Amino acid sequence: MNIKKYSFLFCFLLILTSCAGLFFSPTAKQKFEEGLALFNQGNYQEAVPRFQEATELEPEYTKAFIYLGRSRLNLGQWFDAIPPLRTAYSLSPAETKKETVNFLFDALIGGALEAFKKGNFKESIGYLKEALDIDPSSSDAKTDLTKSVIAYGGQLLSEGEFTEAISQFSEAIQLAPGNLDGYLGLAKSFMKKGDWLDAMSTIKKALEVAPADEDRIKFQDALGQ
């Protein structure tokens, strides 16, 4: 008798948990539905405050966070799209995370590219590393990360931060062992720091991985600049 009683209670609690979304406040649901109607009409700007209010009223309203992020994405507001999509990703149960992960990935890539354009290379690197944590197989994200790391290394080199520049260019080479820009920056950083043996070792390695004579000549010319 007790076993049946506890089994019933367990099933009841399971149903309550799975239907947690049914217990959101009527006001939050109304705001979400208003936002969804506007979203489906392509009126993303007007949908944003509705979804925003729904998330403020119900901090675990996963769908409201998803659509708030999606509205921001459709408006090209990459930086603003990231926080709600991060929240949605953390709130989503394992079986539905896939619905959120693609939107979050797109927001992170968009934010990274926007930060890169503004010269905020460190911020760009952070977004791209987060994107790769979500999808380690993305070759595009890895390529963009390599570019951002090299650009950040160049910025540090120009500011006289040679040790940090060496760290960034070394990371770029690990990400893309055939990228001569990474070797070029690393060699120049060693030279500026006065580490001539490491500079020569880097140059030698670069000339070994250079795929063609033309690339070797370009590398040597750039090194002399």
Mean pLDDT in the chain?
87
- Digit-coded pLDDT (tens) for 193-207: 999 999 899 988 888
Encoding tokens for residue 143? 């390529």
Kindly report the backbone phi and psi dihedral angles of residue 179, in degrees, each rounded to the nearest multiple of 5, phi listed first. -85, 110
Spell 130-144 as b/e; 16+ CB within 10 A means b.
bbbebbeebeebbeb
With contact defined as beta carbons under 8 Å apart, do 119 and 158 qualify?
no
Question: What does the pLDDT read at residue 20?
Answer: 45
pTM value is 0.83
Ordered domains of the chain (ranges, CATH): 1-98 (1.25.40.10)
Beta strands in the chain (DSSP E): none
Encoding tokens for residue 177? 């062992």
- Work out the burial of residue 148: count CB atoms within 10 Å of its CB; fewer than 13 is exposed, 13-18 middle, 19 or more buried: buried
For the cut 50, the answer to whether the pLDDT of residue 17 exceeds it is no
Which is more confident, 92 or 142?
Answer: 142
Encoding tokens for residue 29? 């649901």
Measured CA to CA, the distance from residue 210 to residue 220 in angstroms comes to 11
For the cut 90, the answer to whether the pLDDT of residue 224 exceeds it is no
Q: Which of 24-28, 71-75, 92-96 shows the highest mean pLDDT?
A: 71-75
The DSSP string of 135-182 is -TT-HHHHHHHHHHHHHHHHHHHHTT-HHHHHHHHHHHHHH-TT-HHH
Question: What does the pLDDT read at residue 14?
Answer: 40
Which three-class secondary structure state does DSSP give residue 209?
Answer: helix
Report the pLDDT averaged over residues 70-93: 95
Which is more confident, 134 or 2?
Answer: 134
Question: What does the pLDDT read at residue 98?
Answer: 81
Q: How confident is the model at residue 5 (pLDDT cuts 50, 70, 90)?
A: very low
